[in-house]
Chains A and B, each alone.
Chain A
Amino acid sequence: MEKKAAKIRKKDLTFLQKIYIPEIMKGLALTFRNMIRPKFTFEYPEEKFIPSGSYRGRPVLVEEKNGEERCVACGLCSRVCPALAIDVQAAETEREKERYPEKFEIDMLRCIFCGFCEEVCPEEAIVMSKDYELAFSSREEAIYGKDKLLVPVDQLQDRIDFLRQYK
């Protein structure tokens, strides 16, 4: 194809534009308007960002009011996890649900926060929390066991309500 020369727009500036002052006033007006608008930014970490229920922070296990986990260790979260972050070992319990997770570990270095585990869970036992502050200094530290994963159901009500509405 024949190459067309780029069209150069030649337009002389008007007198007002040439003296700059109205343009500078316009620009400064914008600047001052924004100076007095409310801020979007936070003074993190002094001030925390609290996300809404739709936020997918680190996955946690729901702890019932009686201190027991809801999880029955079916292993579906572990199966569906595309990053293979979840490791579950079931064991027998006297309770009616028959089995519980003897070991439940999420490798937070592998987790990609996709929320599949939460979606597949038949017991609403694993949900995405609002916790986004994750820092480790070794691989071992990044493996979260039941001690770190169990979170009381009260603290997760936002997410559970969100799931019931939209899942």
Chain B
Amino acid sequence: MPTIIIDEQEVEFQPGETIIQAARHHGIEIPHFCWHPELSVPGNCRICLVEVDKMPKLVIACSTIASEGMVVHTKSEKTIDAQNAVMEFILINHPLDCPICDEAGECKLQDYAYNYSVGESRFIEEKNRKQKHVELGPRVMFDGERCISCSRCIRFCDEIAKKPELTFVQRGDRVTITTYPGQPMVNPYSMNTIDICPVGALTNIDFRFKARVWDMSSTKSICTGCSRGCNIDIWVRNNEILRLTPRYNEQVNSYWMCDDGRLNTFKYVNADDRVDSPQIRGEGQLRKVEWEEAFDETVSRIKSFSKDEIAFVGSAHATCEDNYIFAKFARSVIGCGNIDFVQHIDPEFGDDILRVNDVAPNAMGAKLTGVSPSKSGLDIDGIKKAIREGKVKALYILEDDIITEDPQFENIITKLDLLVVHSTNHNKTTALADIIFPASAYAEKNGTFVNINKIVQRIRPAITTVDTDRALDGMEMSRLDKFGTEFDRWATGVKVDAKASWKILVSLSGLFDHKMKFNMAEEVFADMAKNIDAFKGLNYDDVGDSGVKLNYQFIEQKVKA
């Protein structure tokens, strides 16, 4: 491979790569505002100027193609002078908004002002005044003064979202960004412009002023909005999720996620309608009970049915671990083969960018972990029919609101003698349940999802329940979490009394004299890796932060069967 020399370090590069790419692949940071690895190269911010031997002037690293034998200096006197000059130039009209700007703390301009600028300006005139507080669309707020005209947002809309909704207007120091008259920015990926905006010109209306970034912890997780399984970070303060941001994963979502996933998949976790502690229906009313009482009640009532009178509905919303233990519970503990789950298909949702029609995160995982009927067992339609005919009298549902998904169930379910539901929130299904177990939401437990492309990915707990502890369970901690005591009002966020579904099922199995020895989700996964061919040999460390593709051919067979 051809090589160039960057700062006396010999660096290999693929022919056609630019200097900034070659440097980046070898961990050498060249500052950049307008350049983004997934977008076209406009070369307009000039902060990536570097000195190249035998070239008369400094060149921009983002659009200069590397060629054999090039000698690049990113820390020479000339380069440092140029970087400082560019910073001074960009900061001429940049307001001192940091105290009121949501970007502060994760702002490229702030970082570079420390790293590449001496911090002095010769500009004594009045700064430009432009429009602040402009809603470009329903989800994105624009501040004209803060904008440094890098054009990343414009290029994102053109190239990635394929909806050219933004453009520059005016010229010189009056240049600003706007949408076309009367047409707000509404594309389903609009909020990615917030992440790629190197300054605070574009901010998140939903998250606006909710917290400073340094007060939150961030936890690597997976979006539950559809079965693409975009990688995300969950941002938490005081045990409350405040925002989600996409996390880079080359094989799944690159740098992006859709607005729907970003806004609509976490609010239920902090909602008031969370199921808090187990509940049993007595005389038509649900009442909160202790865990032990709920377990005993469930066991004694399930035992009153024969195994053919019971059916199990798994969930595409639950993790592989939950579904695996659920299937094990149905088959080995109860001895029942009537097990299936409900698909969540929204034909309107998908597009050819990231979104797919299967709007549950783990349908593939549910199938793989054994949530499908045994040979003589009933599938979901069979279960529906059998309940109607009175053959199935007890139904056990795992983390799924099947009535909202399939309204046919509403009339059928009233025919049941027993309905046990694991649920995170109160919904139409729990409204009819006899016993409700509070299930941990995806942000409260360890687990795995298998996405539509058969990539298994991990979710991690970001907020605590009564059952978990931030420090002892190794969860991400913010500064406030680390130093807060029970007497501090910023450490007293709501904790729901919920458990991961697999834990509830393990406890129940124990009462059926069928002990399962699992204490951690990781142990459940290890058992899956032992017993399910698709997961063979895997463990949580292999899955890691960016997921692993499962054995493709094998899955095809299994899904067909």
Instruction: Specify which chain A residues have a CB less than 8 angstroms from the CB of B104 in the assembled complex.
Output: 74
Q: Cβ of B489 and Cβ of A74 under 8 Å apart?
A: no
Q: Cβ of A76 and Cβ of B99 under 8 Å apart?
A: yes
Question: When chains A and B are docked, how far (Å) is the Cα of A122 from the Cα of B98?
Answer: 10
Question: When chains A and B are docked, how far (Å) is the Cα of A123 from the Cα of B100?
Answer: 11
Is B114 among interface residues, defined by CB-CB distance under 8 A? Answer: no
Q: Cβ of B483 and Cβ of A74 under 8 Å apart?
A: no
Question: When chains A and B are docked, how far (Å) is the Cα of A99 from the Cα of B210?
Answer: 11
Is B209 among interface residues, defined by CB-CB distance under 8 A? Answer: yes
Is B252 among interface residues, defined by CB-CB distance under 8 A? Answer: no
Question: When chains A and B are docked, how far (Å) is the Cα of A91 from the Cα of B212?
Answer: 12
Q: Cβ of A75 and Cβ of B480 under 8 Å apart?
A: no
Query: CB < 8 Å: which of B99, B214, B487, B489 contacts A72?
Result: B99
Query: CB < 8 Å: which of A74, A78, A84, A139 contacts B100?
Result: A74
Considering only residues 58-111 of chain A, those with a C-beta below 8 Å from chain B are 72-76, 78-79, 84, 87, 90-92, 97-99, 105, 107
Considering only residues 448-491 of chain B, those with a C-beta below 8 Å from chain A are 479-480, 483-484, 487-490
Is A149 among interface residues, defined by CB-CB distance under 8 A? Answer: no
Q: Cβ of B100 and Cβ of A97 under 8 Å apart?
A: yes
Determine how close the nearest CB of chain B comes to the CB of A159; give it in whole angstroms: 21
Is B133 among interface residues, defined by CB-CB distance under 8 A? Answer: yes
Q: Cβ of A99 and Cβ of B100 under 8 Å apart?
A: yes
Is A114 among interface residues, defined by CB-CB distance under 8 A? Answer: no
Instruction: Specify which chain B residues have a CB less than 8 angstroms from the CB of A84 in the assembled complex.
Output: 479-480, 483-484, 488
Q: Cβ of B209 and Cβ of A99 under 8 Å apart?
A: yes
Determine how close the nearest CB of chain A comes to the CB of B407; give it in whole angstroms: 40
Instruction: Specify which chain A residues have a CB less than 8 angstroms from the CB of B135 in the assembled complex.
Output: none
Bin chain B's interface residue count: 20 to 34
* Minimal Cβ-Cβ distance residue in B for A142: B487
Q: Cβ of A92 and Cβ of B208 under 8 Å apart?
A: yes
Instruction: Specify which chain B residues have a CB less than 8 angstroms from the CB of A153 in the assembled complex.
Output: none
Q: Cβ of B209 and Cβ of A92 under 8 Å apart?
A: yes
Q: Cβ of B214 and Cβ of A87 under 8 Å apart?
A: no
Instruction: Specify which chain B residues have a CB less than 8 angstroms from the CB of A105 in the assembled complex.
Output: 489
Question: When chains A and B are docked, how far (Å) is the Cα of A85 from the Cα of B209?
Answer: 20
Instruction: Specify which chain A residues have a CB less than 8 angstroms from the CB of B96 in the assembled complex.
Output: 122
Instruction: Specify which chain B residues have a CB less than 8 angstroms from the CB of A163 in the assembled complex.
Output: none
Instruction: Specify which chain A residues have a CB less than 8 angstroms from the CB of B210 in the assembled complex.
Output: 90
Is A143 among interface residues, defined by CB-CB distance under 8 A? Answer: yes
Instruction: Specify which chain B residues have a CB less than 8 angstroms from the CB of A139 in the assembled complex.
Output: 487
Instruction: Specify which chain A residues have a CB less than 8 angstroms from the CB of B215 in the assembled complex.
Output: 75, 78-79
Q: Cβ of A98 and Cβ of B100 under 8 Å apart?
A: yes
Query: CB < 8 Å: which of B132, B480, B489 contacts A143?
Result: B489
* Minimal Cβ-Cβ distance residue in B for A74: B99
Determine how close the nearest CB of chain A comes to the CB of B335; give it in whole angstroms: 54
Instruction: Specify which chain A residues have a CB less than 8 angstroms from the CB of B490 in the assembled complex.
Output: 87
Given A79-B212, A79-B214, A92-B209, A87 and B489 contact (CB-CB distance below 8 Å): yes
Chain A contact residue count (CB 8 A cutoff): 21
Question: When chains A and B are docked, how far (Å) is the Cα of A74 from the Cα of B484?
Answer: 21
Query: CB < 8 Å: which of B209, B483, B484 contacts A73?
Result: B209
Question: When chains A and B are docked, how far (Å) is the Cα of A143 from the Cα of B104?
Answer: 28
Question: When chains A and B are docked, how far (Å) is the Cα of A97 from the Cα of B488?
Answer: 29
Determine how close the nearest CB of chain B comes to the CB of A110; give it in whole angstroms: 8
Determine how close the nearest CB of chain A comes to the CB of B413; give it in whole angstroms: 43
Determine how close the nearest CB of chain B comes to the CB of A3; give it in whole angstroms: 51
Q: Cβ of B212 and Cβ of A75 under 8 Å apart?
A: yes
Instruction: Specify which chain B residues have a CB less than 8 angstroms from the CB of A91 in the assembled complex.
Output: 209
Question: When chains A and B are docked, how far (Å) is the Cα of A99 from the Cα of B208?
Answer: 10
* Minimal Cβ-Cβ distance residue in A for B213: A75
Question: When chains A and B are docked, how far (Å) is the Cα of A122 from the Cα of B210?
Answer: 20
1/0 contact string of A114-149 vs chain B (CB within 8 Å): 000000001100000000000000010001000000
Considering only residues 39-83 of chain B, those with a C-beta below 8 Å from chain A are none
Q: Cβ of A72 and Cβ of B208 under 8 Å apart?
A: no
Question: When chains A and B are docked, how far (Å) is the Cα of A34 from the Cα of B244?
Answer: 72
Question: When chains A and B are docked, how far (Å) is the Cα of A87 from the Cα of B215?
Answer: 11
Considering only residues 175-193 of chain B, those with a C-beta below 8 Å from chain A are none
Q: Which of A73, A84, A97 has the most CB of B within 10 A?
A: A84
Determine how close the nearest CB of chain A comes to the CB of B500; give it in whole angstroms: 31
Instruction: Specify which chain B residues have a CB less than 8 angstroms from the CB of A143 in the assembled complex.
Output: 489
Question: When chains A and B are docked, how far (Å) is the Cα of A99 from the Cα of B101?
Answer: 9
Determine how close the nearest CB of chain A comes to the CB of B551; give it in whole angstroms: 48
Instruction: Specify which chain A residues have a CB less than 8 angstroms from the CB of B488 in the assembled complex.
Output: 84, 107
Instruction: Specify which chain A residues have a CB less than 8 angstroms from the CB of B489 in the assembled complex.
Output: 87, 105, 107, 143
Q: Cβ of A74 and Cβ of B214 under 8 Å apart?
A: no
Instruction: Specify which chain B residues have a CB less than 8 angstroms from the CB of A92 in the assembled complex.
Output: 208-209
Question: When chains A and B are docked, how far (Å) is the Cα of A87 from the Cα of B99?
Answer: 16
Considering only residues 214-231 of chain B, those with a C-beta below 8 Å from chain A are 214-215
Instruction: Specify which chain B residues have a CB less than 8 angstroms from the CB of A72 in the assembled complex.
Output: 99-100
Question: When chains A and B are docked, how far (Å) is the Cα of A75 from the Cα of B105?
Answer: 11
1/0 contact string of A44-63 vs chain B (CB within 8 Å): 00000000000000000000
Question: When chains A and B are docked, how far (Å) is the Cα of A10 from the Cα of B214?
Answer: 70
Determine how close the nearest CB of chain B comes to the CB of A96; give it in whole angstroms: 9
Question: When chains A and B are docked, how far (Å) is the Cα of A102 from the Cα of B365?
Answer: 44
Determine how close the nearest CB of chain B comes to the CB of A167; give it in whole angstroms: 17
Question: When chains A and B are docked, how far (Å) is the Cα of A72 from the Cα of B480?
Answer: 21
Question: When chains A and B are docked, how far (Å) is the Cα of A123 from the Cα of B214?
Answer: 20
Question: When chains A and B are docked, how far (Å) is the Cα of A68 from the Cα of B55?
Answer: 58
Jot down 14 A-B pairs with beta carbons below 8 A, ordered by A. A74-B98, A74-B99, A75-B212, A78-B215, A79-B212, A79-B214, A79-B215, A84-B480, A84-B483, A84-B488, A98-B100, A99-B209, A105-B489, A122-B99
Q: What are the 6 tightest A-B residue pairs by CB atom distance, in nearest-first order?
A: A74-B99, A90-B209, A75-B212, A122-B99, A99-B100, A72-B100
Q: A79-B214, A91-B209 are in contact. List 16 more A-B contacts (CB 8 A).
A: A72-B100, A74-B99, A74-B100, A74-B212, A78-B212, A79-B212, A79-B215, A84-B479, A87-B489, A90-B210, A92-B208, A97-B100, A107-B489, A122-B98, A123-B99, A143-B489
